[in-house]
Amino acid sequence: MIDLNCMEDELNRYVGSEAGRGYVRNHLLRYMEMIKLIPVHEPLAVLDIGAFIPLAAYLRRVTPHSYTWHSHGESGKKTEITIQGEAFTVQSFDVELDRFPFDDSSFDLVLCSEVVEHLGLDPFFMLAEINRVLKPEGVLLLSTPNVVSARNAWKMLLGFSPYLYASFTLTRDRHNREYSAFEVASMLLHSGFKAERLFTSNVYFPRIRFPSRGFLRQCAIDLLFKLNRTSQWRGDCIFALARKTGPVVERYPREFYDLPSAHSMKFRGCVHGRA
């Protein structure tokens, strides 16, 4: 069992700015939920996609696992990072285009926390590659914002976009598509996984207060909060712990892709992924 009581202080040891400490503070509850799902009964080979190095350092210290860290960047590049005297080798590749630089069945566990919502080209390529590099019955731990949270439902009633984070940043570090828990379950099934745990939790806005005017609006807010507390699908973040059951079932599910036929795609050279 991992002791989470001092987690914020431990993470802040590896953060060098007030902005970084603010980021840790905003995401701390998500980290806690994720870590509670990580198996620790025996050493595992772990691939951390989109690794946040302060969290990576913490995980390396409190779990018995061996880690491989990924960051989006120049394909094939390895970067040596040293923080507080601890060294990390981070491998860069594009999870939507590049074949992951690992052999089949290399890992017991893949962490993919707050990554899939950033993908705007071919997210199922990443899921297919995760399937490939996981060992038989390996585990994928995934988290992503919940587009149908109670908070987002209220934003829609006010006439605003329901996305948790829709700002442009002049980089790829923005949310291209947010999902519901049912969509995440479907993505996993299509990609050769079965969800053993699937739930939502309020990790970003646990005590949010919406502006209100008048009795009816307050009643609507109270109803949404009640829904948030009683429904497992209305929290602001989705968590999935899924086990690999076999190869990819469907590479381009129609509920997620609007594409020509596979034959036509091959003919046009439109099948994504590069060796």
Angstrom distance (rounded) from CA 262 to CA 246: 21
Proportion of the chain in helix, strand, coil states, percent, rounded to 5: 35, 25, 45
Residue 217 lies in a domain: yes
What pLDDT, on the 0 to 100 scale, is given for residue 270? 43
Half-sphere exposure of 60 (CA within 13 A, CB side): 18
Angstrom distance (rounded) from CA 186 to CA 2: 31
What pLDDT, on the 0 to 100 scale, is given for residue 16? 78
Residue 118 lies in a domain: yes
Residue 273 lies in a domain: no
Enclosing domain of residue 252: 7-268
Q: pLDDT tens, 214-254?
A: 555 556 556 666 665 556 788 899 999 999 999 999 999 99
Measured CA angle at 119 (ends 128, 53), to 5 deg = 90
Q: What is the CATH number of the domain that holds 212?
A: 3.40.50.150
Residue 275 lies in a domain: no
What residue ranges of the chain have pLDDT lower than 70?
A: 1-5, 172, 206-231, 261-275
Q: Which of 194, 99, 68 has its CA nearest to residue 137?
A: 194
Residue 62's contacts (CB-CB under 8 Å, 6 or more residues apart) are 2, 3, 35
Residue 243 lies in a domain: yes
Which residue in the block uniquely carries the two structure tokens 């439902």? Answer: 153
Residue 206 lies in a domain: yes
What pLDDT, on the 0 to 100 scale, is given for residue 271? 46
Angstrom distance (rounded) from CA 142 to CA 3: 21
Residue 274 lies in a domain: no
Helix or strand holding residue 28 (H, E): helix 18-37
Q: pLDDT tens, 25-60?
A: 889 999 999 999 999 999 999 999 999 999 999 999
Q: Which of 188, 2, 203 has its CA nearest to residue 110?
A: 188
Residue 213's identity, in one-letter code, is: R
Angstrom distance (rounded) from CA 144 to CA 207: 19
Residue 2 lies in a domain: no
β-pair partners for 90: 69, 79
Domain count, the chain: 1
What pLDDT, on the 0 to 100 scale, is given for residue 273? 63
